[in-house]
A and B are shown apart, each in its own frame.
Chain A
Amino acid sequence: MAVAKIADDIISVTDLNYRYAGQARPAVAGVNFAVRRGEVFGLLGPSGAGKSTTQKVLTRQQRSFGGQVTIMGKPLGAWGSDYFERIGVGFELPNHYLKFTARENLTFFASLYARPSRPPADMLALVGLEAYLDKKVETFSKGMRMRLNFVRALQHDPELIFLDEPTAGLDPVNAGIVKSLIADLARAGKTIVLTTHNMNDVDQLCDRISFMVDGRFAALDTPDALKSAHGRRIVRVGTPDGTAQDFSLDGLGDNAEFLALLRTGRVDRIHSQEASLDQVFTNVTGHRLDAAEAGAAA
């Protein structure tokens, strides 16, 4: 079983440590986790928790670290430039050559890869930017630049993709398009490491999520398991007169009071009381999500 598990893990991290020069406290302190091939793995936590540092280590932007990191079956330090052929990185903030067009930006980055990239027009069509192919990026809104960021990370068809806040700055329609593309990538067998504060994205996309606090993992599980663990095993039944009654989920089918209430026909809503991911975030990290988002934006 262990052999099968290792073969399935595209990322394996053991006792990862990283300390910035001049800092007393490590940014990442003894983190252990694995990401399975084809999984969408969420990396969550308040600002300064160590998410970005972990991602920078995994994408080799920070090359000196403590612990062991194995990616695609090979220690991270043993990879050469071919590593970047197989990963794609979408950044939190748009970063493009502003005086160049969208086509020129994508063509330039494609020219840095040995493996063939998809044509810029096709990539831009994925995110509704095909009409802006030959427009300079300096004329783009933040949302358009974010969409360009997103497709640049994918154009060389990487098998492991790191995405940092991919829907930040996007309107609901375009955020939906990007989420749909991420789901398509996962269905196509790509592995995605998603860093975000958007719990809606996490809920819709992630197979498993981890919460980082002070450089450590405070929790790691599926979204449903975390919501159940941090919620109450009850259902709340609301009636038209505005009152609500709670019933334990255990033995609900045999609960005479609950069944009697259903039979009255005066029920207008029934909600399970599992925790939302926002609540899980607050419980696990000790930070309110809106404060974490404000910190990330600052």
Chain B
Amino acid sequence: MKRVLNVIRHDIVSITRDSVMVNIVVMLLVLAVAAATLRHMGLYPEWWHNTQLLLLLCYMPGMGYLFAMLIVDEMDSGVNQALLVSPASAMAVLCARVALPTAFVLIYAFAFIYSAQAIDLPFHHWLLPVLTLSMSVAWVTLLVPAISRDKVKALGLFKILNLYTAIATVGLFIPQDAWYRPVLWLTPASWSLNGIEAFIASQEAAGYAWSFGGLLFFGALVAHAAWLYLRRQAQ
């Protein structure tokens, strides 16, 4: 356990040394404070709903990317080989690298939800959809180093994965009965947003169905990414 914590501490130093993490966290705080301020001042009420969901969804893959880049960097420089012949368990380190950013986005999500209070739902209605969205962190953390050969490809791949997740927000701006709306169901993030919308509309069964379906969908993507990652490590 101590070894894994040492690796994670080293990771955090590495991320903050590039100022990337600091910039992202500051940006997240500024956005959350701005949204909460508008809400509590009663300004632009027609935007509260969409702002809440947009801000909830769009930052999550980025947190995964920070840790994915650490792994890509280690592969690029060969340090991963040195770690493999150290007593630190590679699997435990990987789990910690997935768990840490996931925990961060979950804490941030609920802090944001309860500080902004833009959408009034009980905790048990938020839980499944937010858990589903947070799985994008694990997906990005595993899939980027599983496929990318270098940092440039990693950045390109991340932009695609981020778009795949964030495109669900298009659903907030198109009519509910648009014939092309089901195309958005190809991303599990849409299932999560549909779950939240169903809970808002007091359709509890539909809310759980969408949310649970999204969780399974993202779970399958994470499992596939983990399989690709482990296969690459074995090579």
Q: Is B182 an interface residue (CB 8 A)?
A: no
A112 touching B85, Cβ below 8 Å: no
Knowing A21-B235, A91-B78, A108-B10 touch, does A99 contact B86 (C-beta < 8 A)? Answer: no
Interface residues on B, range: 20 to 34
Chain A 82-119 interface 0/1 with B at a Cβ cutoff of 8 Å (1 = within): 10110101010111111110000000110111100000
Across the A-B interface, how many residue pairs have beta carbons closer than 8 Å?
58
- Interface positions, chain A 70-86, Cβ under 8 Å from B, are 81-82, 84-85
Knowing A81-B89, A113-B87 touch, does A91 contact B17 (C-beta < 8 A)? Answer: no
B78 touching A97, Cβ below 8 Å: no
A93 touching B79, Cβ below 8 Å: no
State how many angstroms separate the Cβ of A111 from the closest Cβ of chain B: 4
State how many angstroms separate the Cβ of A48 from the closest Cβ of chain B: 16
State how many angstroms separate the Cβ of A21 from the closest Cβ of chain B: 7
B17 touching A99, Cβ below 8 Å: yes
Q: Which of B86, B88, B235 has the most CB of A within 10 A?
A: B86
A112 touching B87, Cβ below 8 Å: yes
Complex Cα distance A114/B3, Å?
A: 9
Complex Cα distance A95/B82, Å?
A: 7
Residue of A nearest to B6 (CB): A111
B17 touching A61, Cβ below 8 Å: no
Q: Is B7 an interface residue (CB 8 A)?
A: yes
Q: Which of B3, B85, B87 contacts A89 (CB 8 A)?
A: B85
A84 touching B78, Cβ below 8 Å: no
B88 touching A61, Cβ below 8 Å: no
Q: Is B176 an interface residue (CB 8 A)?
A: no
Q: List residues of chain A with CB within 8 A of the CB of B77.
A: 95-98
Complex Cα distance A98/B78, Å?
A: 11
Q: Is B84 an interface residue (CB 8 A)?
A: yes
Q: List residues of chain A with CB within 8 A of the CB of B37.
A: none
Q: Which of A82, A96, A100 contacts B87 (CB 8 A)?
A: A82
Complex Cα distance A95/B78, Å?
A: 5
A99 touching B14, Cβ below 8 Å: yes
B82 touching A108, Cβ below 8 Å: no
Q: List residues of chain A with CB within 8 A of the CB of B89.
A: 81
State how many angstroms separate the Cβ of A262 from the closest Cβ of chain B: 56
State how many angstroms separate the Cβ of B21 from the closest Cβ of chain A: 14
Q: List residues of chain A with CB within 8 A of the CB of B7.
A: 112
Q: List residues of chain A with CB within 8 A of the CB of B18.
A: 99
Q: Which of B14, B78, B82, B235 contacts A109 (CB 8 A)?
A: B82
- Interface positions, chain B 68-85, Cβ under 8 Å from A, are 77-79, 81-85
Q: Which of A82, A93, A100, A112 contacts B3 (CB 8 A)?
A: A112
State how many angstroms separate the Cβ of A192 from the closest Cβ of chain B: 15
Complex Cα distance A48/B206, Å?
A: 59
- Interface positions, chain B 202-235, Cβ under 8 Å from A, are 234-235
Residue of A nearest to B80 (CB): A95
State how many angstroms separate the Cβ of B90 from the closest Cβ of chain A: 10
Chain B 1-27 interface 0/1 with A at a Cβ cutoff of 8 Å (1 = within): 001001100100010011000000000
B6 touching A152, Cβ below 8 Å: no
State how many angstroms separate the Cβ of B70 from the closest Cβ of chain A: 10
A87 touching B3, Cβ below 8 Å: no
B84 touching A61, Cβ below 8 Å: yes
Q: List residues of chain B with CB within 8 A of the CB of A152.
A: 82
Complex Cα distance A265/B88, Å?
A: 68
Q: Which of B3, B7, B10, B87 has the most CB of A within 10 A?
A: B87
| 3 A-B pairs closest in CB distance | A95-B78, A81-B87, A111-B6
| Cross-chain pairs A/B with CB under 8 angstroms, 18 sampled | A59-B85, A60-B84, A61-B81, A61-B85, A81-B87, A81-B88, A89-B82, A91-B81, A94-B78, A96-B77, A96-B79, A100-B14, A108-B6, A111-B6, A112-B83, A112-B86, A112-B87, A112-B88
Residues of chain A having any CB pair with chain B under 8 Å: 20-21, 59-61, 81-82, 84-85, 87, 89, 91, 93-100, 108-109, 111-114, 152
Residues of chain B having any CB pair with chain A under 8 Å: 3, 6-7, 10, 14, 17-18, 77-79, 81-89, 234-235
